[in-house]
Amino acid sequence: MLFVCSFLFFISRLAATQNTITPGQSMRDNETLISADGSFELGFFSPGNARSRYLGVWYKKVSSRTIVWVANKETPILTKSGALRLDNKGNLILRNGKDGVVWSSNNTSRTQQNPVAKLLDSGNLIVRDGKDNMLWQSFDYPSDTMLPGMKLGRNLATGLNWFLTTWKNSNNPAPGEFSFWIDPRGFPQLVITSRTAIRFRLGSWNGLQFTGTPQVRQNPLYNFQFVSNQHEIYYTYELQNNSVASRVVLNETGILQRYVWIDRTQIWNLFFTVPIDQCDSYAFCGANAICNIGSYPVCACLEGFVPKSPSDWKQADWLDGCVRRTKLDCHSGDGFWKLTGLKLPDTSSSMVNESLSLKECKALCLRNCSCVACANSDARGVGSGCLLWFDKLTDIRHFVEGGQDLYIRMAASELAWIEAKKKSNERKKDAVVVSCLIFIMGMLMSTLLFYMRKQKQGMRNHDDMKDYDKDSAMEEMELPIFDLVIVKNATNNFSRNNKLGEGGFGPVFKGTLLDGQEIAVKRLSETSRQGREEFKNEVKLIAKLQHRNLVKLLGCCIEGEEKLLIYEYMPNKSLDFFTFDKTRCKLLDWHRRFHIIEGIARGLLYLHQDSRLRIIHRDLKVSNILLDSDMNPKISDFGLARTFGREQSPTNTNRVVGTYGYMPPEYAIDGLFSVKSDVFSFGVIILEIVSGKRNRGFSLGGLGHNLLGYAWRLWVKGRPLELIDNSLYDSCGPSQVLRCIQVGLLCVQQLPEDRPNMSTVVLMLVSDTFLPQPKQPGFYTERNPYEAESSSRKESNYSGNEITTTIIDPR
């Protein structure tokens, strides 16, 4: 009986201490603590491929081990001799066998009454005394991860600073280059810094969100809070749905990402990421300028300002920013010019008065000769609070949705000039509106006559396309329908002289409408390897897409057996027309090639992340990149595209479609496609643009590699610049070309999870952020030199306007 009681006591004691450590107890390398609800686990681990041991906390219920906190970040244990214990003073002490202490919480020097260390369900490792007073907590010393309930900011009374710091790399949790913290100067704001320099500014809190991230809003998954008083300044968030897990991570490249784990998906879903584009780079356009990612160029001076260095500005060197065209005269009746939808300027040297209204704020600014701009500090309701700027206005960007109003102080004469220019533009707009109304009336009359004639003809194609009309919902899209007679007249009855090229869809013809507008007409041929489904797909998808780097669909024509798509005409044809031609490639200097690479990346980012539908293209290649009159790239050919949800999980298909040389291994072999499939294709395109050579059929010096393999060998040997097209030597900057090669190799890595997403790719291209080392590319092949030569001969027979689509049906 005594034995049974002793055994039961031992079992109950073990259960009670499963998530706790008391003085005299030790947790060794092969032991762990588990939080009461089983969400988190504390123990020893080796990160990545490292053998060193660290003490850390990770998610217990998540299938892939995800580390959220590390104790001994800078002092690894080289063997499995580590042990964690709690002393009578309430200090956690990590020892490395005989080598002594490698880490300690070192929170107190006084003996405490009944201290206990406990791993909470929140993932917070805490030490409390017998009276339940908090002695120490891991949440006060974050690593690279912010969990719900954790604070980011600082305690003004104790000086404790809560901030995230990146790991050096996936094998080493020691503090890296980037930090995420609250800058308390002026009006406090969230920033990501590289050592001491600001790289990205999330902005100040306006009562609803941070001014630099209007896309981050209250939602059903979590709510967030910003607290600023005389004792503390901090940002925190709490989960509203306990069935999910959420974490914010600052990765080793300085990108901040929020992940959400949903049990039914069994993967971490990326909820948002910042920064996402070049306008997010701190002060990208210099002082007194605004960055607008939807414009070209992206930088422009604020109203009333001109470039400080006009010659540099013309060369897209915006670092010096802008200066006032007319100096302020404190006593001459200065006023304000209102700008809307903005990320407010850097507030580190601004002044705030939260009790003033906007009217009072403007008056206060005008009374101070040094004040240059003002805005509401609180955006809730009609707005309240007052922010004043007294120096250069730095790091402003325009948002399509969200953003705040900024009132820039102007001299009276400057305001009069701006108002006059505005009225002149309005008169021009009125004239355009009247012209458009006349044109629309004419089109309505033409449409009415067209439908009357169609009724007389008995609507020949009504029955043939009845099911298609329902599926495509073209009426809902309000897509213009072209009369076949008009298209035939425009293309000279599909004359061979008007033919631009031939692809898997069928021939493409140039046409000219009666009003002089040039068009490109894709004609679905009877022998097309694409069919009605691809035709319907392209109409449904591209009709809803609007981006400067996507080709614009003007309308379609469906009469009898004819199925036609009418696009804007691209006078410079497709990218391969220049890239792979020994003579025409000289027209693409490095500045233009990089502009094309950047434009393709932005178009792809729009498809993956910013469009309403969220689309995987599945046939991205140089021949599907068209060039307008200014050599701006536009992604085309959406017949094989597919939509996807926010979870971005890989999808399996029994019908693999696309083009050899651009397909990633997991798609060509297993039929798995995702956004990372497009990323692989984009990486191939980068390497083709840099080298001027095709990936498929590549042959150089009898090495037997494709272009990816050749680029990889040069990278490993430390000679990547040998990949550069000979015609670029006089126009390229080696550092930028090297960066593009590295990004290209990162995009074509063998495993899809190793490849970056397009938001990361865009940031890598336009900033000097740290780039990880690429791993071996997919389809890194050693081929027989004869086979490579044979493939090369076949490839050389391809048309300069190649838009061929290869369709593979696995057996």
Residues with a known catalytic role: 619
Q: Following CA atoms 770, 771, 773, 776 in sequence, which dihedral angle do they give, to the nearest 10 degrees?
A: 170
CB-based contact 111:89 (threshold 8 Å):
yes
**794 sits in which H/E element:** helix 785-796
Strands 305-307 and 54-59: unpaired
CB-based contact 702:711 (threshold 8 Å):
no
Cα–Cα distance between 127 and 164 in angstroms, integer? 22
* Identity of the amino acid at 306: V
**595 sits in which H/E element:** helix 590-605
Cα–Cα distance between 44 and 404 in angstroms, integer? 47
* Identity of the amino acid at 751: L
Count CB atoms within 10 A of the CB of residue 29.
18
Cα–Cα distance between 555 and 479 in angstroms, integer? 6
Cα–Cα distance between 171 and 30 in angstroms, integer? 20
For residue 185, give both structure tokens: 């100067």
Annotate 723-745 with b (16+ C-beta within 10 A) or e (fewer). Answer: bbbebbeeebeeeebbbbbbbbb
SS3 351: strand
Count CB atoms within 10 A of the CB of residue 137.
17
275 prior amide bond cis, ω within 30? yes
Residue reference for tokens 């092969």: 30
Count CB atoms within 10 A of the CB of residue 199.
22
Cα–Cα distance between 113 and 129 in angstroms, integer? 6
**398 sits in which H/E element:** strand 396-398
Give 444's contacts (C-beta < 8 A, 6+ positions apart): none
- Nearest 5°: phi and psi at 187? -95, 115
For residue 572, give both structure tokens: 């410079």
Q: Where are the beta strands (DSSP E) in 89-162?
A: 92-96, 101-104, 116-119, 125-128, 134-137, 145-146, 152-155, 161-162
Cα–Cα distance between 571 and 534 in angstroms, integer? 25
| Nearest alpha carbon to residue 177 among 185, 189, 169 | 169
CB-based contact 804:659 (threshold 8 Å):
yes
Cα–Cα distance between 726 and 455 in angstroms, integer? 61
Q: Following CA atoms 278, 597, 745, 253 in sequence, which dihedral angle do they give, to the nearest 10 degrees?
A: 0
CB-based contact 553:539 (threshold 8 Å):
yes
Cα–Cα distance between 138 and 126 in angstroms, integer? 6
Annotate 70-100 with b (16+ C-beta within 10 A) or e (fewer). Answer: bbbbeebbeeeebbbbbbebbbbbbbbeeee
Cα–Cα distance between 414 and 303 in angstroms, integer? 9
CB-based contact 277:299 (threshold 8 Å):
no
CA dihedral for 119, 123, 128, 132, sign (positive or negative):
negative
Helix and strand numbers (H, E) in the chain are 16, 47
47 prior amide bond cis, ω within 30? no
